[in-house]
Structures are given as structure tokens and as C-alpha cells.
Amino acid sequence: MKRISLYTTMIGFAVLSSLSSCLKDESQPDFTKNQAVIELPIGSSAANGGGNSIAAAFTVDQTPSDYFVYVNYAAPEAAAQNVTVTLKVDTSAVTKFNTVNGTTYAQMPANGYTLAGNTVVIPTGQRLVKFPIKINTINLDPLKTYALPITISDGGGFTVSGNFGTLVSIITLKNKWDGVYTVTGTMLDTQNSALTGQYPRTLKLVTQGPNTVAIQDGDSFAHGILNAGAGSSYGSFSPVFTIDNTNSTITSAINYYGQPASNGRSARLDASGVNKFTMSADGKTPVSMKVKYILVQNGDRTFFDETWTYTGSR
């Protein structure tokens, strides 16, 4: 019995010793000893080595648009001193990103952005600050998708993150009439009475240039109609409207698929319509659009008379 008691006691000491060893953090990380890392934390990664990216869209305007990326002091405690971080536009990051992801984003030209400087200070007691950038949309092509790569070139004495040291901003442009609309109105096909209008309907106007937009239905450049009461659309037909920037008057309509398209369909503005956008008081956001246009195929075939009410951005 004494041997059993002694054996049991020895096992108990062993277990306690093992628990004590765990409590001394033999297997758990001690976060209090982590070294500070400087990073650009916002963005998503495809985990393929191409780098982190974030998407941003801007409306074309004479006035440059405000944009920023976050710079973070990653550590258990906030910065105990001012940390000056140096950043740069790193064109090599775009080449790498495109190569790895199979994309063809254009490097944003030098006149497409303005940096207030190349440094940002993380103040004592803080972690996260903004690095401000101006996007000069008027100098950019709305038909292109741009990449603006920002890289930390100096962490102010601290380690620069290997995974979050570069952020590629993928930038697209929209003109001020671009957006999602609820469309009501009438449609008359003079050649096929089975084809009728499908209203109300949610449609989009999608930027094609600084002052042009095309009708998009779902993910297709088209306009939903009814064929004997069933959902349909005219093949290879989507009006592209040109708008006067000074007063938001629609000056013309052509077919997105060609004028005419391969099936002989063209678009033409009906001069009897109001053909104009009503804009917000500051002139930057559409309220509604009234427009008449015609599908031309072997003459003036289909007449549209519509009101588009803006519901939000795409």
C-alpha cells in the first residue's frame, strides 16, 4: 500500500510540474514581446503573391477627389513616440499584380493623382493614420481601369510588413449621370405588336466616356421588353446617350453595338422628347431623366418614351 501511495504521489508531482511548465508559456506566444510593424492594413489579398488590393470608384469632376490609404502601427501598445513613415508610388507593384492575377490594369499616370508629400506621421499614443491623396479624375480615361500602388519605403525605424507593405488601389471612373434607375414609360413596336414595354424596370446607365452613358440591364447592355407577355429584349440594341455637361441635355443617341449593328439596328434620339436630366441643386447628382428615343430597323421601328428616376450609384 505504501508503494502505491508513493507512486500516486510521484504521478501527482509530475502532473503539477507539467501544468507549471505550461503556465510558464512554453507553448503559448507572448504577445507583449511582439515587435512593432508598420503596415497598410486595408485591402484584400488573393493569397497568390500578387499583393493586396482595394477597389475605389470616383465620379469625373473638375475638382480633384479626396482619397486616402491607412497606415498602421501594429503592436500590442500604441506608438510611444512620433513615427514618421515614408511612402512611394511603386510602379513595379502594378506589373507584378497584373502578371500574377492575369489583369491589364493601367498604371495611373503622374497627372492622375497628387500626393501632399511622401511622409505621414503616426503620433504618440496612436496607431492608425490616413495618408491623403488627390485623384485628378479630369485627367483620366473613364474607359480604363487604373492601378495606383502605394508602398512603404521606410518604417521610421520599425519593421515594414512583408504581407501588407504595399497596397494597390484599383480605380474606376464614372461620370455624374452613371447610376441605377427605376424606369417607367411606354414603348411601341410598329412592326411586331407582340413586343411591348416592360415597366417599371430597374436599369443602369453605365459610363462610356466623360459625357456618355449606355443602358445596361442586369449585366448586359440591353433593355428588357416583353414578347407576348414573356421577358425578352432586342438583340444587339442598347442606346448610348451623349449629354451636354453644361445643362445635362441629351444631345444624341446611338447604338452601343454599332450604328447600325450587324442585325441592322440603330438608335436615334426623338427630338419631340424633353431629353434632359434634372440634377440636384449642386449639379452633381441626377434626380431623373426624361427621354424619347427610337430603335431604327428598316425605318423607325420602336418608339420609347421614358422617365428614369435615380435610385443610387452602381
pLDDT tens digits for range 198-230: 999 999 999 998 899 999 999 999 999 999 999
Q: For 280-298, what is the mean pLDDT?
A: 96
If you average pLDDT over residues 16-37, what whole number do you get? 49
Q: In this structure, what are the phi and psi dihedrals at residue 70, rounded to the nearest 5 degrees?
A: -85, 140
Find the mean pLDDT for residues 68-93.
Answer: 95
pLDDT at residue 12 tops 90: no
Alpha helix segments (H runs only) across the chain: 2-23, 91-101
pLDDT at 136: 97
What is the average pLDDT across 168-176? 94
Where in the chain is CATH 2.60.40.1740? 32-174
pTM of the model as a whole: 0.72
| CATH top class, domain 32-174 | mainly beta
CATH fold label, 179-312: Lipocalin (2.40.128)
- Report the C-alpha gap between 145 and 151 in whole angstroms: 20
Per-position b or e across 98-114, b if 16+ CB within 10 A of its CB: beebeeebebbeeebbe
Residues 10 and 122: their CA atoms lie apart, in Å, by: 56
Residue 44: per-residue pLDDT: 74
pLDDT band at 189 (very low <50, low <70, confident <90, very high): very high
**pLDDT tops 50 at residue 27:** no
Kindly tell me if the per-residue pLDDT of 177 is higher than 90: yes
Whole-number pLDDT of residue 13: 37
pLDDT at 34: 65
How many helices, marked H, and strands, marked E, lie in the chain?
A: 2, 24
> In the predicted model, what is the mean pLDDT of residues 120-134?
97
**Angular region, 23: left φ>0, alpha ψ -120 to 50, beta rest:** alpha
Over residues 269-294, the mean pLDDT reads: 97
pLDDT confidence of residue 33:
54
Provide the percentage of residues in the chain whose pLDDT is more than 90.
Answer: 80
**Rounded CA separation 173/180 (Å):** 15
Given a cut of 70, whether residue 7 has pLDDT beyond it is: no
> How would DSSP label each residue in 93-117?
HHHHHHHHHT--PEEPPGGGEEES-
| Domain limits, CATH 2.40.128.420, in the chain | 179-312
